C-alpha cells in the first residue's frame, strides 16, 4: 500500500476511488465492446475496421491496467467480480446485436464520448491536487479523444462512399 502516495493526494480519497472504480469498470466494458464487435462486424471496410477495433480494445485494456495500478496505490482494490462492471459503470455497455459496421461505429462513438467526459471530470477533480492521478487521466483522455476522432473518420468515409455510390446510380 502506498502510504505516502495516499498522504500527498489532496483529493478526498473515497470520492477519488469511487471515480476510479467507475472508470475502471467502463474500460473493461469498452474493451469487450470493441473486442466482440471485431469478431462479428460485417460491411464495408470490414478488415480495416476490425483492425482498428482490436487496437482500441487493447488500449482500453491498457487504461484498465493504469487505473488498477493507481487504485492499488491509493489503498483500494480493483473490482474483483466482473458482475460488478455493469453495476458500477455509468457509460453503459451496448451489445453489438446489429453487427453492420455503421451500427458498431455509432455505438463505439457514444462510448468514447462518455469516456472523454469521464476523464475530463477526473482531470478537473485532480488538477493541482493529485499529480499522479491527473497524469494518468490526462494520458487516457488524450487517447479517448484520438479514438473518438478515428471512429468518427470511419463513419464519414463510409457515408461518403455510400453517397458516391448513390450519385453514380443516378
Binding region for Fe ion (CB under 5 A): 27, 60, 63, 112, 144, 147
Taking the complex as a whole, the smallest distance from the CB of residue 87 to Fe ion amounts, in Å, to: 19
CB-nearer residue toward Fe ion: 2 or 121: 121
Query: Torsion over CA of 112, 117, 119 and 125, rounded to 10 degrees?
Result: -170
3-state secondary structure of 89: coil
Cell of 134: 491527473
The residue among 63 and 70 lying less far from Fe ion, judged by its C-beta, is: 63
Continuous segment of H or E residues that includes residue 109 = helix 101-126
Closer residue to Fe ion in complex, CB, 27/52: 27
Residue whose C-alpha is closest to residue 26's, from 72, 92, 122, 75: 92
Q: Is the dihedral of CA 120, 125, 131, 136 positive or negative?
A: negative
**CB 147 to Fe ion: min, Å:** 4
SS3 100: strand
For Fe ion, the closer CB: 39 or 165: 39
Amino acid at each position: 500500500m502506498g502510504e505516502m502516495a495516499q498522504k500527498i493526494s489532496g483529493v478526498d480519497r473515497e470520492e477519488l476511488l469511487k471515480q476510479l472504480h467507475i472508470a475502471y469498470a467502463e474500460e473493461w466494458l469498452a474493451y469487450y465492446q470493441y473486442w466482440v464487435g471485431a469478431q462479428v462486424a460485417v460491411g464495408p471496410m470490414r478488415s480495416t475496421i476490425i483492425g482498428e477495433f482490436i487496437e482500441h480494445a487493447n488500449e482500453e485494456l491498457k487504461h484498465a491496467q493504469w487505473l488498477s495500478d493507481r487504485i492499488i496505490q491509493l489503498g483500494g482494490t480493483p473490482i474483483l467480480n466482473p458482475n460488478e462492471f455493469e453495476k458500477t459503470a455509468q457509460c453503459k455497455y451496448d451489445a453489438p446485436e446489429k453487427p453492420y459496421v455503421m451500427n458498431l461505429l455509432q455505438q463505439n462513438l457514444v462510448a468514447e464520448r462518455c469516456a472523454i467526459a469521464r476523464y475530463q471530470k477526473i482531470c478537473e477533480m485532480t488538477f493541482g491536487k493529485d499529480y499522479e492521478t491527473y497524469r494518468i487521466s490526462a494520458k487516457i483522455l488524450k487517447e479517448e479523444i484520438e479514438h473518438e476522432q478515428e471512429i468518427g473518420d470511419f463513419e464519414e468515409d463510409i457515408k461518403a462512399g455510400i453517397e458516391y455510390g448513390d450519385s453514380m446510380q443516378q
